[in-house]
Amino acid sequence: MKLLILFLIQASFLFAQADLDSLMKSISGKPDSARARILNDYAWTNRSKDPHAALKSGEEALKIGRAINNKSLQAKSLNLMGVVYRNLGNYDKSINVYRNALRLAEEVKDSIQIAYSYNNIGGIYRLEGNNALALEYILKALNVFEKLGNKEGMSFCTINIGLIYRRQGNYIKAMGYLNYTLRLREEIKDRPGRALALNLIAEVHFDIGEMNAALKYYYEVEKEYEAVDDKKGLAATWGGIAGVFYKQKDFSKALEYRKKSLELSTRINYLEGQVHNHINLGLIYAQLGNFKQADVEFAEALKIANNMKEIYVQIDTYKSFAKYNELKNNFKEALYYYKRHASLKDSVMKQENVALLAEMESVYKAERTEKENSVLSKDIELKEKQRNYLIIIVLLILIMVIIIYSRYYSKKVANKKLEELNEMKDAFFRLIAHDLKTPFNAIFGYTEILKEDFPQLTDKEKLKFIDSIGNAAKQNYQLLENLLMWSQSHTGRLEYNPLQINLKLNILESKELLMPSAKNKNIDLKIDCDDNLTLFADQQMLTTIFRNLISNAIKFTYPGGTVTIKVTEEPTGVNISVMDTGVGMNEETIRKLFKLNEITTHNGTEGEKGTGLGLILCKEFIQLHKGRIWIESEPGKGSKFIFTLPK
């Protein structure tokens, strides 16, 4: 078998060399820049099918770039060669080549190649487990590509970020980035790139135990990779299919696909594929009772993995060795490999925490501040923000006054309507002013304490005061955000922009945002929604609806209770329920909920403040979608907010 594989590798190499020689002869009469472009295209096309021929082609293009002193061309050739070295597992060589590409691109201010170099360097750090540096470089690349409107470059960055989140176990964010990558690839009609995105989506479904969905995606990807002749992708897909059959205990099919994947991985020198296939062949043979052959497979996997620098390959290898030794009842060896697995994983997890901070700093550049500033300087900054908030609030109140008066001024019963409206306005403004004033009092009080007693306060007390200031600011910000959206809606400046969106992902985003509030009250948030259900809706409005309804349910639920979001699909649309186990309401309270002229403040189960403006927004946005909302509730038995949306 090994002789056959060696023969196939040698034959493939000779064929590729002849193919490349033929190409170089056919383009010998073309201009230098055209020859270099054709050779770079050949390197990219063959990066996975025949990496050695791809490297040779890239080197020839690099020589031409140097001969005509074209640094942009040299940078592109180096970036392509780095991809091939990465696929071959030579990360040291790959990152050196990428850095040379970055240096040349910066010299001539070639933004495209600068961004590709950033993303490529970030990709190597990701493979080595240094997610902090990986995200730093990838997000710099994404920023450049977005400014240029380069969707191909953006898709390379988003797929890298999706892979980082997948390794962290954050499958919601991973799926979000991978689906975004898929959309970008489809928009630019990149069929190989689309296949890669589908393959990674299949792997996420596998990770979360959705085997049928994973197998469905894998079979689709298999056809795509065969169509574009992507051998590395095909090897990875066969390995994925084998993994599903192994989980389903269909060991004969798992063995068949593993052998196919290993043969192809060996032929194209795909080291990561070789390691995974040897490991999983070992596990299959162990399940079949053939421990002798299993030992051979694991020994080969360890030999290849120890020569690689990809930390996740080593982590997976040690974990699989531990499982294998457990199957053999060799618990001493199993413990040894579990310890090595845990040690490597812990080191990566520490870096992943840093990576999340790096991402936040990169995305929210406007919020970067000097970390060494004293609490006093933060106090000054906070007061400036308060002043800005007050200016915005005054403007909003003026806008609302204009809206209220202009809407009814021209009517025959103007005097009576204006009188009623004035009463409503006064009551509404009193509530808004009260709910705005309370958090500001907390902010002013705590900042004065910090300023006057700063040296005497313990670190724990300072952190407590800062946390209280933050909570008060967040409370004001949420009210301010609802006021802004309400005013935009009533002045016609809020655009209705429906898109095809995944409903469960939208709900999960709101859940993540509100999890701190739920955890503070030990409330369980449950979601019952089909993963693949999509709607044609305005994403911003839908997010506002879920945020307000879930926040309202948490507010009126006792500690230790449950809030459930349930979606039922109907022929023409969906029914969505937000249910809580809280205080409930009588009929009089329900009647007043969606009326601006009867809006009242109700405190939550732990004294949380609120005006009810969020529920009015929900009703207006649901009606914009041609839906309707109603409430089922009894005092002491919780509440159920139900609304419909057409598909």
- CATH number, domain at 538? 3.30.565.10
Is there a single domain that holds both residue 417 and residue 551? no
Please state the φ and ψ torsions of residue 40, each to the nearest 5 degrees.
Answer: -65, -40
Is there a single domain that holds both residue 570 and residue 520? yes
Is there a single domain that holds both residue 449 and residue 553? no
Distance from C-alpha of 587 to C-alpha of 13, rounded to nearest angstrom: 80
How many domains does one find in the chain?
A: 2
**pLDDT class for 312, splitting at 50, 70, 90?**
low
Q: Is residue 338 part of a domain?
A: no
Domain boundary among 468, 490, 512: 490
- Mean per-residue pLDDT of the chain: 79
Residue span of the structural domain in which 414 resides: 395-490
Is there a single domain that holds both residue 569 and residue 448? no
Res 369: pLDDT: 35
Q: Is residue 483 part of a domain?
A: yes
Contact (Cβ atoms closer than 8 angstroms) between residue 181 and residue 197: yes
Is there a single domain that holds both residue 441 and residue 564? no
Is there a single domain that holds both residue 599 and residue 637? yes
Is there a single domain that holds both residue 472 and residue 577? no
User: pLDDT tens digit string along 393-420?
Assistant: 777 777 877 777 666 565 655 566 556 5
Q: Is residue 277 part of a domain?
A: no
User: pLDDT tens digit string along 464-495?
Assistant: 767 667 666 665 566 666 666 656 655 555 67
Question: Which residues does residue 566 pair with via DSSP β-bridges, in sequence order?
Answer: 528, 577
Q: Of 164, 81, 165, 162, which is closest to residue 116 (Cα–Cα)?
A: 81
Is there a single domain that holds both residue 638 and residue 603? yes
pLDDT at 463 > cutoff 80 = no
Q: Is residue 105 part of a domain?
A: no
Residues in contact with 260: Cβ distance below 8 Å, sequence separation at least 6, in sequence order = 238
Q: Of 47, 24, 368, 440, which is closest to residue 228 (Cα–Cα)?
A: 47
Q: Is residue 510 part of a domain?
A: yes
Q: Is residue 257 part of a domain?
A: no
Distance from C-alpha of 182 to C-alpha of 194, rounded to nearest angstrom: 6
Q: Is residue 576 part of a domain?
A: yes
pLDDT at 181 > cutoff 60 = yes
Distance from C-alpha of 172 to C-alpha of 529, rounded to nearest angstrom: 14
Contact (Cβ atoms closer than 8 angstroms) between residue 551 and residue 585: no
Distances (CA, A) of 209 to 214, 243, 277: 9, 11, 20
Distance from C-alpha of 182 to C-alpha of 328, rounded to nearest angstrom: 42
Is there a single domain that holds both residue 422 and residue 545? no
Which of 374-378's residues contact partners 24+ apart within 8 Å by CB, and which partners?
374/454, 375/450, 375/451, 375/454, 375/462, 375/466, 376/450, 376/451, 376/454
**pLDDT class for 354, splitting at 50, 70, 90?**
very low
pLDDT at 595 > cutoff 60 = yes
Sign of CA dihedral 46, 51, 56, 62: positive
Distance from C-alpha of 95 to C-alpha of 102, rounded to nearest angstrom: 10
Residues in contact with 562: Cβ distance below 8 Å, sequence separation at least 6, in sequence order = 523, 524, 526, 580, 581
Contact (Cβ atoms closer than 8 angstroms) between residue 150 and residue 115: yes
Is there a single domain that holds both residue 508 and residue 458? no
In terms of DSSP H, where are the helices of 46-110?
51-67, 71-87, 91-107
Q: Is residue 286 part of a domain?
A: no
Domain boundary among 490, 510, 535: 490
Is there a single domain that holds both residue 607 and residue 505? yes
Is there a single domain that holds both residue 541 and residue 619? yes
- CATH number, domain at 474? 1.10.287
- Which pTM does this prediction carry? 0.48
Domain boundary among 490, 524, 542: 490
User: pLDDT tens digit string along 605-627?
Assistant: 877 766 667 788 788 889 888 99
